[in-house]
Structure 1
Amino acid sequence: MFDTDIIEVLALERQVFDFLGYQWAPILANFFHIIIVILGLFGTIQYRPRYIVVYTVWAALWVAWNVFIICFYLDVGGLSKDSDLLTFNISVHHSWWSEHGPGCVRREMPQAPGVRTTESHSYITVMGCLMDYQYIEVVHSGTQILVAILGLKDL
């Protein structure tokens, strides 16, 4: 099997950044991915064919999920990166990379004085990013697809 340490590290790295952006759909997908990779590793070491089959099926689903993420961030079809689809429409959070990407300068503008609400939101501007966040997300998903295919190749 392809070096499972690489698969695990990349899955954990992606999980951390999805947690930072409160993107619940990717968090759940990453969680299942981590569990299935562990089962696949166990199945390979112990030669448990059922676990290997589960890993193989999951790898195909994982590739499909990452193709969806690429299409989502590139606004392919009816998808829009500005929608709340990845947060299950329960929050207005977005990719962590949109405000913290390489070279990004983030500036917060506090609410107008005297305006008190239960939710204190600030207006945030981001400038000077070396790479737009959607392309960072696309690279993450492309890497996950490549690693999944390499992992299947060595089964």
Structure 2
Amino acid sequence: MGCCSARCMLILLCCLQLITVLERQVFDFLGYQWAPIMINFFHIIMVILGLFGAVQYRSRYVIMYLLWTLLWVGWNVFVSCLYLDLGGLSKDGDILSFGVSSHHSWWKENGPGCESERLPSAGWKNQQNPELTTVLSCWLEYQYIEILHCIIQLLVSLPGFVYACYVASTFSEEDDSFNFIGEFHHPSKPSKLLF
């Protein structure tokens, strides 16, 4: 097995996906965005299953990862459209927090170079938070940071999808090779006798 084989590339891409989605999960937790938190959690599970399938030569796990990747790509396209206000979607809505709270992206107030000013609210007794925060300026607006997260996920997921297709087809072909002496033969695994 070479170090640049499709299996090794899939393992590398899965590890890279885990790192990037864990970073994304942290910031979604900070912003109390419940829909992305749940989807990221499922993505972490599916990437771990795909990683396990690639390491252990299990085509079913790689196929599960492959199918999930299609949903993950769709989710990231949806989130990008949401933050760009495309297709009747609005970033100011509470769709990502399931309408449970009025929370929004953590990057809205804490982005790179954001200066915020806390103003006392006149009707603080009626507000959920006793202070209002006004963001004066940012180097990069929060919706573009969220879109960059989606683009990074897409740039890692699309090659992962291609390599998963190839690896799953390779594993399926190798699963069909039976030796008629009582063992399955896999070229990169040591032979074992089945009793």
TM-score, structure 1 as length reference: 0.93
Cα distance in 2 for partners of 1:83, 1:120 equals 18
1:2–1:145 Cα change, 3 Å = farther
- Alignment partner of 1:56 out of 66, 73, 77: 66
Query: Which position in structure 2 is the counterpart of 1:44?
Result: 54
| 2: CA distance, partners of 1:20 / 1:61 | 24
Residue in structure 2 matched with residue 121 of structure 1 by the alignment? 130
Spell out the pairing of 1:56-135 with structure 2 (5 A cutoff): 56-112=66-122, 116=125, 119-135=128-144
The 1:61–1:133 alpha-carbon spacing in structure 2 relative to 1, beyond 3 Å, is: same
Unaligned runs of 5+ in 2: 1-9, 165-195
RMSD: 1.6
Which consecutive residues of structure 1, in runs of 5 or more, have no partner in the other structure? Answer: none
2:121 and 2:132 in contact (8 A); partners too? yes
Structure 1 window deviating more from structure 2 (39-48 vs 1-10): it is: 1-10
Question: Deviations 1:73-132 (Å, cap 9, x if unpaired)?
Answer: 00001100000000001100000000011110011112349x645844311111220111
Counterpart residue number, 1:35 = 45
Query: 1:39-71: per-residue Cα shift (whole Å, max 9, x none)?
Result: 000011111111111000000100000000000
1:7 partnered with 2:21:
no
- Residue 137 of structure 1 corresponds to 146
Larger relative contact order (Cα-Cα within 8 Å, sequence gap ≥ 6):
1
**Structure 2 contact 11–55 (Cα < 8 Å) conserved:** no
How many residue pairs are counted as aligned between the two chains? 154
Q: Which amino acid aligns with 2:156?
A: V
Q: Which residue of 1 aligns with 2:156?
A: 147
Q: Which SS does the other structure have where 1:154 is aligned?
A: helix
- Compute the TM-score of the two structures, normalised by the length of structure 2: 0.75
4+ runs of 1 displaced by more than 3 Å?
115-120
State the alpha-carbon separation in 2 of the partners of residues 84 and 148 from structure 1. 27
Which protein shows a greater Rg? 2
